Structure 1
Amino acid sequence: MSVFLYTLLIFQLHAKAENPLCRMMGESKYPLLSKDGDVNIGALFSVHSIEILPSFKYTQKPQALSCSSVSLRDFRMAQTMIFAIEEINRSQSLLPNVSVGYRIYDTCGSRLSSMSATMALMNGPEFTAGDRCNGQSPIHAIIGETESSATVILSRTTGPFKIPVISPSATCECLSNRKDYPSFFRTIASDYHQSRALAYIVKHFGWSWVGAVNSDNDYGNNGMTIFLNTAQEEGICVEYSVKFYRTEPDKLQKVVETIKKSTAKVIVAFLTSSEMYNLLEQLSIQNISGIQMIGVEGWITAKNLLTPNCFHVLGGSLGFAVRKNDIEGFADYVIKAFWKTVIPCSQTEGNSSEYAINCNTYQDLLLLKNYNEDVPEQRYSSNVYKAVYAVVHSLHSLLKCKEQAGCKKGLTIQPQQVVEALKKVNFIIKMGDHVWFDGTGATIAQYEVVNWQKDSNGSIKFKAVGYYDASLPPHQRFVLNTENITWAGGQIEKPRSVCSESCPPGTRKASQKGRPVCCYDCIPCAEGEISNETDSNNCKQCPGEYWSNAEKNKCVLKAVEFLSFTEVMGIVLVFFSLFGAGITVLIAILFYSKKDTPIVKANNSELSFLLLFSLALCFLCSLTFIGRPTEWSCMLRHTAFGITFVLCISCVLGKTIVVLMAFKATLPGSNIMKWFGPAQQRLSVLAFTLIQVLICVLWLKMSPPFPYKNLKYYNEKIVLECSLGSTVGFWAVLGYIGLLAILCFILAFLARKLPDKFNEAKFITFSMLIFCAVWITFIPSYVSPPGKFTVAVEIFAILASSFGLLFCIFVPKCYIILCKPEQNTKQHLMGKGSI
């Protein structure tokens, strides 16, 4: 039995394959508006926006679906399509001798009705050619749908049959995929450009903290994804990104609560007009206002949003709208010709029942019979107009039409041929727009930037305040006239929407842990660093010779430090240098005037005068340490200091040796003084000094001191100092001075108790003690960080040691000369004891 049934089934399938039967399942769906022609164009518009479903009890045949609530926008699109087709049928240049027909279906904004209408377009409402399927579509192209999600369904359904679909308003970027939608075209730009332009307008106004709401469908999800990616590229932070669909009231409530709790004062709303209407209602109920809305072409010029409370919430909204194009003659057409030719219903005086029967389908449309005030604001009608002309231009080329000979009517046109012809269309319509399709099947992105404002009589208008044109160079695409903008709540000042206030120059941004990058703290730049721009991410280090000012917004030249003649410390040191030199000169004058007295003659007066001369030079050499270091002053200060001090110590050493030799000479049989007479004393001083001169010459020859900008020890200032060049040379000079001083101190110490009335060795011992103490104290301070105080310490050491030698050696003698002249005798000086 089973074998028999299987054989019968195979036989029936084979018979059907040879002789296929086309059977209509269910009742035929008829178009809302139609007209037969040699070539036909189909269309799907949501002329009504609400679909009323019948009862599905499965006990009886379901009634037909009914629709309500006329969508004026889609109704005008249907009228525009018919207007364009009738205009073409009257034309002698396009499809001469070929009539164009149309079949316009009302989808009622329902996916169910949309699928039903799509199948009706592809198959036709009835089979006039018998019961066989000929595989030929009754229409050559479909114009529609108006929403992206519905267009996705339509394009996927017609795609396998290669029937071209041209949408006037579906902008979803997803439809740009030619692999999935090879036969889809649109006379509007993809949302790719609009979504990026939304980020640009937010960036233009300095809003870095925004909220985002989108329709939970293909249109909203794809558009918002592109916006979010672009916003991230442009440094814009999105506080929240939420979505809902018109049939999801719970999600809508959550969206409203999110908006209510947020701190962002700007919302990017990528919504259709239906979702925006629902959101507007809830925002009005909860009295949420003062939010700057940034909108898209889907709702920014939608008339259904103009409710009594709309401006309270949406006043000042900014957004991108499809450009308006005035179609010549269309305004008159929708008042007169359309109702006479397409819907020829008129209320006759006699038979009202006949009117009801014939025109019951159009009763809600007839309410618009004398209304055309909305026509100037219709922004999608021109897209329908372009779509019709694009299809006709492609058919014109396929039918090989010529102005004189007409078109070849006998040609069979396959849908795929129309698709290929549409890719090549390139023409200019009478409004002046250039119509062609890019590689994705879309047209160039051109938008008006509109602003919700109130005019003098209180009515709301959509005022153009700029434009975006993707066909222009990048720097010219986006133009805004901000002076003409009304902001949220009717304010004249632009709202601020930032997570954190801008960081002023002199500070940098520091991200707050766990928060978006637009939320940050302003941290002052460190010393030596600046930021000279608002919202700097990092502070810049000042170059070597520069330092940050107090505000940390500018690099200024570092203060240059050196011991100057004009500052107080420099003046004091100059005073003591000249004072010491002056006293030395006075003492020299005093000694010269008393050169014949015993106390001056004692211990070789030549050494005394030479010592006074060297002390005067010691006082004066300290002046070379004051003032801006130069190449010459650096070489002079160290060498002059070294040579004069050696000369000074050599003289003291000579005087000490003379004291010792003089004592030895008083012993019986001693002739030691002949070995250290005046000539030997002068020679010893010269020899000791020449050694220091040789050291200095070698130092200057090998690696002399030089002026140096020291940036190492102080960040905020430059220390001008004299670099030693060769540290070995410096310590050799200083060491030699120290060696002579120690030698002098030892000899003087040995001679301190010699039995003279005036024992000069005792005073030399004191002077050497002071000299050594001063320079031992100086060494640690000299190797400390450089600066003018270090130089001052060095000058102090020179002056202190010079004053020590001067006072210890010469002041006692001056005292005797001036105050105790009676002691200035040979007998007294040779006497025993001390003074």
Structure 2
Amino acid sequence: MCWFSCLFTLWPSSAPSLLLVGLVGRQLGLRVGLQCVETVSCSRWGTPDSQSLLKDGDVVIGGLFTLHYEPPAIDNDFTQLPHYKPCTGTGGFNLLIDFLSFLLFCGLSLENVPLQYIHAMVFAVEEINHSTMLLPGVKLGYHILDSCGRPPWALQTALSLVGGDNAMCSSTDSPDSILSRTLGPLSVPLISYLSSCPCLSNRRQFPNFFRTIPSDIYQARAIAQLSIRFNWTWIGAVVAKNDYGLVAIKEETQGAGVCLAFVETLQRENIVSDARRAALTIQASTAKVILIFTWYTDVRELFLQLAKINVTDRQYLASEAWSTSGDLLQNVVSTKVAKGVFGVAIRSSIIPGFENYLKWLHPIHRPEDEFLREFWEAEFGCSSGKGSLPLCSGTESLERVKNHFTDISQLRVTYNVYLAVYAAAHALHSLLSCPDRESSPGNNSFSCSSPKDIKPIELLQHLNKLNFTTPQGELFYFQGADIPAKYDLVNWQNTPDGSLKLVLIGRVDGFDLHLNESAIQWSTGYNQVPTSVCSESCPPGSRKANRKGEPLCCFDCIQCAEGEISNTIDSLHCELCPHEFWSNAERTACIPRQLDFLSFNETLGITLTTAAVSGAAVTTAVFVVFLYYRQTPMVRANNSELSFLLLLSLKLCFLCSLVFIGRPSVWSCRFQQAAFGISFVLCVSCLQIKTIVVLAAFRSARPGAGALIRWFGPGQQRGSVCFLTCVQIIICATWLSLSPPVPQRDLGFQGSTVTLECAMASVVGFSLVLGYIGLLACTSLFLAFLARKLPDNFNEAKLITFSMLIFCAVWIAFVPAYVSSPGKYVVAVEIFAILASSYGLLLCIFAPKCFIILFRPEKNTKKHLMAR
């Protein structure tokens, strides 16, 4: 168990009157075992007559630090009352042996030397005493004691400074919470410079606790912010198996988009096996960024295990417990596996004049300073008259000594001690001054209260309202128990000689990160930020699809469907484009849908145009043949006038299909349906009259039916065709005048194009046009079927029957095809029906006749035609 203690006790020189305590413990979830065996029987700890540093004053500040580490004499096995040896320096203040072993056990950086903390307190007190603005007329003193690294001593020494007894009972708790709970009923404030456990921020449980170091929750939150900033969504975590590590895990998992690939815990009792297990997990993980939130000694063992299995390509995020560790920086193993460490550190600051103060320290000038004397003996190997060491010559000086005690390059914890003293002084100043009353002219004494009248509860109230500017120009105040979060961001960088150095690359102020990214040296040795993701980011045009049973950071990228877009990285959803827009090929933007219609330039349009023109050309050729051979029996026997009219109507049918191709306009939409309807009615009516003439001709040969043929003479035939055609003309005229087809964009079809089509404003009109054609076709088919077996070779009823069967089949299939076809293919279906039915009529009726006329002229005789 490792912790530091600093007790600031303020009391008048005559008798104790109030207490300001600054206990510092690296608690972070650690627990200390102070057992009270019986409620009426408490253990004896000995007398607090160990080494101390004392200076009188109007108000004396008591400080409790851990300068020696005294392990427990016996194990607390609950078989006997625990007993603790007095905390003395009998073992000698050996900086390189005793103190170093204590630092290594505690897992703290070598620069964190408590002797420097002690003299930071002494320096601050002397600086305040020389100030004319802060506590004028009041002289501060100090009384500094050694806690020996044991919670019982911290309690006893603290209570002895406020007049407590040597016998104490306490329950199992953490050091700061023990003191806070014990001194809470006395309203004695405690100020800590190194206790960062978030639990101590609870004002209900610890109303008298303050600290000059931010809560650990803020550094964990800062690391989470860094993970998000550099897009490290997939990181591993190696943490201490206590509240310290749990805080880090909680803040990391709460970071938006950050997932933990694994969490390994380290326990000091099993550090070797735990570190080996964690190293193997790091080696097997795909996470390239590893958060290490634990103590220095744990990290040292972890790096050793990583070096054994040659894991050297990971980027480590460091907590302030080891990010500034000089021992780790100088370790050869660290240079192999821990290049580019990026960490959060206790903020550093300068203390003007403190360097000269340390260099001019000498036991001769401070004979009462037992701590300095012991350090001097350990540093120079001589004594000032006590002990077995040879006498010092008097020429020894710290001016040219380079060690952690004299090093002020990074005053982190030391500066927190300095701030704690100033916080106590400003609270006293606020308490002893009276800004609401006017002091007598020339009277420098305080008019409201004197140092002898200090009450702890009043001092506690003034600490809660504390607000002042430090000598370094920073605004200082407490937010409950805490101060605003301020950290340094540090980076371990390579030096030319192959070692590592600590480089300041940014700061954290509250929730704001100030970072010089260009100054960072990453684990790769380059300025390129390492990548640590479970899945690569989804580019624009796709969306994230979570994998079942895996963390949110593990996902697949699914391309947006047609008509949907995403224009951001890692989009969760694809957005649907508006009706008149469609997604581009990359699915990143909605673009206007292209206007589409059946044009003459595309393959389908060219094919249909070719078929229509060919049909018209063939029809014209047949017309020419019939005209040339108009006097032959084959032409004359089949009602040549109706045949020529039929050929003309077929040519119009072929040509009317061309009106459907091209960009629809108001007039083309009207004309195409009218041309289609009238042309086909003219064609079918001709066939119907030809069939009726055939039937009439054979019926007239029967007795009493001679007058029947007179009703179907040439004039009646022409009149019947005109009448039937005029009915269709009236239907089309009515339809087009009331509710004609109009050009319209079809937005219902989901595609990159918008079809420009002739929309049927009135389905009834179009249905009447088709229905009338169908009625005539069915009638013609019925009549032709009746006349199919009539004798004579000139009977063309069979040909009409086959042609009308094809015609009806085409238009029956047309209806479902027309309804189900999308976009411009609706027009293509209608054109195909027109052409197919026209070709059917042309080939079935005229192909056999042309074959006889051109290739079998011997059959084109009256004798052959009259043969039965």
- TM-score tier, shorter chain, comes to 0.7 to 0.9
Write the deviation string for residues 219-252 of structure 1: whole angstroms up to 9, x where unpaired: x146325423xx3341211133344454554674
Instruction: Tell me by how many angstroms 1:319 deviates.
Output: 1.3
Change in Cα spacing, 1:511 to 1:605, as seen in structure 2 (3 Å) is closer
Q: Does 1:432 align with 2:503?
A: no
Query: Which residue of the partner structure matches residue 296 of structure 1?
Result: 319
Q: CA deviation at 1:122?
A: 2.6
Q: Which amino acid aligns with 1:239?
A: A
- Once the two structures are TM-superposed, the CA of residue 175 in structure 1 deviates from its matched residue by 1.8
Q: Give 1:380's aligned residue.
A: 413
Pairs within 5 Å for 1:312-327: 312-327=336-351
Q: Check if 1:688 corresponds to 2:712.
A: no
Q: Supply the AA of the counterpart residue of 2:231.
A: G
Q: Return the match for 1:415 from 452, 456, 481.
A: 456
CA displacement at 1:638 relative to structure 2: 3.2
Matched residue, 1:239 = 261
Match of 2:645 in 1: 610
**1:211 alignment counterpart:** 236
Indicate conservation of the 8 Å contact 1:265/1:292, yes or no: yes
Residues 694, 416 of structure 1: CA spacing in aligned structure 2 closer, same or farther, 3 A cutoff?
A: same
Match of 1:375, SS state, is coil
In structure 1, list runs of 5 or more residues that go unmatched.
1-23, 127-147
Deviation of residue 806 (structure 1)? Answer: 3.5
Distance 1:159 1:305, change over 3 A: farther
Match of 2:554 among 511, 519, 523: 519
* Counterpart residue number, 1:46: 66
Q: CA deviation at 1:710?
A: 5.6
Match for residue 386 of structure 2?
Answer: 356
Contact between 1:756 and 1:829, CA under 8 Å: does it hold in 2? no
Helix, strand or coil at the partner of 1:642: helix
The answer for the alignment partner of 2:530 in structure 1 is: 495
Q: Give 2:426's match in structure 1, choosing from 374, 393, 398.
A: 393
Give 1:92's match in structure 2, choosing from 132, 135, 146: 132
> How far apart, in 2, do the equivalents of 1:288 and 1:602 lie?
104
Between the aligned partners of 1:316 and 1:590, the Cα distance in structure 2 is 96
Structure 1 residues 514 and 793, CA, compared in 2 at 3 Å: closer, same or farther? closer
**1:28-85, Cα deviation, whole Å (9 max, x unpaired):** 344532222110112222233x324446998999742456316643221111110010
Partner of 1:239, secondary structure, is strand
Following superposition of structure 1 onto structure 2, how do residues 97-496 of structure 1 map, counting pairs within 5 Å? Answer: 97-123=137-163, 149-218=174-243, 220-221=244-245, 223-224=247-248, 226-228=250-252, 231-246=253-268, 249=271, 252-253=274-275, 254-256=277-279, 258-273=281-296, 275-277=298-300, 279-280=302-303, 283=306, 288-309=311-332, 310-337=334-361, 339=363, 340-341=365-366, 343=369, 345=373, 355-357=385-387, 370-371=401-402, 374-400=407-433, 404-407=443-446, 409=450, 411-438=452-479, 440-470=480-510, 477-488=512-523, 490=525, 492-496=527-531
- Secondary structure of 2:99's counterpart equals strand
Report the counterpart of residue 141 of structure 1 in structure 2. Answer: none
For residues 113-142 of structure 1, the C-alpha deviation after alignment (integer angstroms, 9 at most, x for no partner) is 32232222332799xxxxxxxxxxxxxxxx
Whether the 8 Å contact between 1:35 and 1:103 is mirrored in structure 2 is: yes
Q: Match of 2:122, as an amino acid?
A: I
Q: Following the alignment from structure 1 to structure 2, what is the Cα–Cα distance between the partners of residues 55 and 824?
A: 137
1: distance between equivalents of 2:81 and 2:636? 152
CA distance in 2, matches of 1:564, 1:760: 39
Pairwise CA distance, 1:160: 1.8
Q: Counterpart in 2 of 1:647?
A: 682
SS at match of 2:412: coil
Q: How many residue pairs end up in the alignment?
A: 772
Change in CA separation of 1:103 and 1:226 when aligned onto 2, cut-off 3 Å: farther
Q: Secondary structure at the residue paired with 2:481?
A: coil
**Cα distance change on mapping 1:283 and 1:101 into 2, 3 Å:** farther
Distance 2:508 2:645 in 1: 95
Aligned-residue offset at 1:830: 11
Alignment partners' CA distance in 1, 2:802 and 2:184: 116
The residue number in structure 1 matching 2:656 is 621
CA distance in 1 between counterparts of 2:466 and 2:57 reads: 22
Provide the C-alpha distance between the structure 2 equivalents of 1:397 and 1:222, rounded to a whole number of angstroms.
39
Paired with 1:784 and 1:59, the residues of 2 have a C-alpha distance of 96
Are residues 217 and 116 of structure 1, via their aligned partners in 2, closer, same or farther at CA, if it must alter by over 3 Å? farther
Please identify, of 52-61 and 318-327, the stretch whose mean Cα deviation from structure 2 is larger: 52-61
Q: Kindly indicate whether the alpha-carbon contact (under 8 Å) linking 1:79 and 1:338 is maintained by their aligned counterparts in 2.
A: no
Task: Tell me the SS of whatever aligns to 2:114.
Answer: helix
Cα–Cα, structure 1 residues 281 and 37, in superposed 2: closer, same or farther, change >3 Å?
Answer: farther
Q: Aligned pair in 2 of structure 1 residues 47, 713: CA closer, same or farther (>3 Å)?
A: same
Residue 794 of structure 1 deviates from its aligned partner by 3.9
* Matched-pair contact (CA < 8 Å) for 1:36–1:100: yes
Q: Distance in 1 between matches of 2:620 and 2:513?
A: 87
8 A contact 1:313–1:489 mirrored in 2: no
* Structure 1 letter corresponding to 2:655: L
- One-letter amino acid of the counterpart of residue 201, structure 2: S
Q: Secondary structure at the match of 2:386?
A: helix
Question: 2: distance between equivalents of 1:758 and 1:215?
Answer: 110
C-alpha contact (below 8 Å) 1:32/1:105 kept by paired residues: yes
Mapped pair 1:675 → 2:688: no
Q: Does 1:584 align with 2:619?
A: yes
Cα deviation code 1:179-236 (max 9, x no counterpart): 1121222223233322211101011122112222333455x146325423xx334121
CA contact (8 A) 1:196 1:226 kept: no
Change (3 A) 1:335 1:282: farther
Give the letter for the 1:580 counterpart: G
Q: Which amino acid aligns with 1:426?
A: N
Tell me if structure 1 keeps the 8 A contact 2:45–2:153: no
Seen in structure 2, the aligned counterparts of structure 1 residues 203 and 833 have a Cα distance that, compared at 3 Å, is same
Is contact 2:541-2:559 (8 Å) kept? Answer: yes
Structure 1 counterpart SS, 2:866: coil
Greater fraction of residues in helix: 1
Aligned to 1:799: 835
Q: How does 1:51-66 map to 2 (within 5 A)?
A: 51-54=70-73, 63-66=85-88
Superposition TM-score, scaled by structure 1 size: 0.81
The 3-state SS of whatever aligns with 1:637 is helix
Q: Relative to 1, partners in 2 of residues 1:667 and 1:563: Cα closer, same or farther, differing over 3 Å? A: same
Q: Which structure 2 residues correspond to residues 642-791 of structure 1 after superposition, within 5 A?
A: 642-665=677-700, 670-700=706-736, 704-706=740-742, 722-752=758-788, 758-776=794-812, 778=814, 781-786=817-822, 791=827
